[in-house]
Amino acid sequence: MLLPLTLYILLLTFVPVLQAIGMSFTDRYSGAFPSLSNYQYIVGRPDFTAAFLNTLGITALSVSMEMVAGLILALMLARTFAGRGFFRTVILTPMGVPTLVAGAAMLYFFRTNGYVNEALLRLGLIDVPIYWTESGLRGVFAIALADMWKVTPIVTLLLLSGLESIPGDVYEAADVDGANRWQSFWSVTLPLLMPAITMALIVRAIDAFRIFDVVMVMASRSIPVMSTFVYSNYFDFQDPYSASAAATILLLMIVAFIAAYFLLVERRRGELA
Among residue numbers 242 through 271, which ones bind other proteins (CB under 8 A)?
243-244, 247-248, 250-251, 254-255, 258
Residue 208 as a binder of other proteins (CB under 8 A): the answer is no
Q: Near other proteins by CB under 8 A, which window of 2-10, 27-35, 38-46, 131-139?
A: 2-10
Judged by DSSP in three states, 78 sits in coil
Query: What whole-number distance in Å separates Cα of residue 210 and Cα of residue 254?
Result: 9
Residue 104 as a binder of other proteins (CB under 8 A): the answer is yes
How many chain residues touch other proteins (CB under 8 A)? 100
Among residue numbers 39 through 68, which ones bind other proteins (CB under 8 A)?
none
Q: Near other proteins by CB under 8 A, which window of 41-49, 87-95, 133-141, 260-268?
A: 87-95
Per-residue binder mask for other proteins (CB under 8 A), 124-163, x = binder: -----x-------------------x----x--xx--xxx
Query: What whole-number distance in Å separates Cα of residue 269 and Cα of residue 254?
Result: 22
Among the listed residues 56, 60, 107, 130, the single contact to other proteins using CB under 8 A: 107
| CB neighbour burial string for 32-49, b if at least 16 within 10 angstroms, e if fewer | eeebebbbebbeeeeebe
Residue 184 as a binder of other proteins (CB under 8 A): the answer is yes
H-state helical runs in the chain: 3-9, 15-24, 37-43, 46-77, 84-92, 99-110, 115-122, 137-164, 169-176, 181-184, 190-209, 213-219, 226-235, 240-261, 267-272
**Minimum CB distance to other proteins, residue 189 (Å):** 5
Give 30 or 89: the residue with its C-beta nearer to other proteins.
Answer: 89
Q: Could you give the dihedral angle defined by the CA atoms of residues 118, 87, 162 and 151, in that order, rounded to the nearest 10 degrees?
A: -30
Among residue numbers 213 through 242, which ones bind other proteins (CB under 8 A)?
213, 216-218, 220, 226-227, 230-231, 234, 240
Among the listed residues 8, 33, 131, 237, the single contact to other proteins using CB under 8 A: 8
SS (H, E, C) 172-233: HHHHHCCCCHHHHHHHHHHHHHHHHHHHHHHHHHHHHHCCCHHHHHHHCCCCCCHHHHHHHH
Give 50 or 157: the residue with its C-beta nearer to other proteins.
Answer: 157
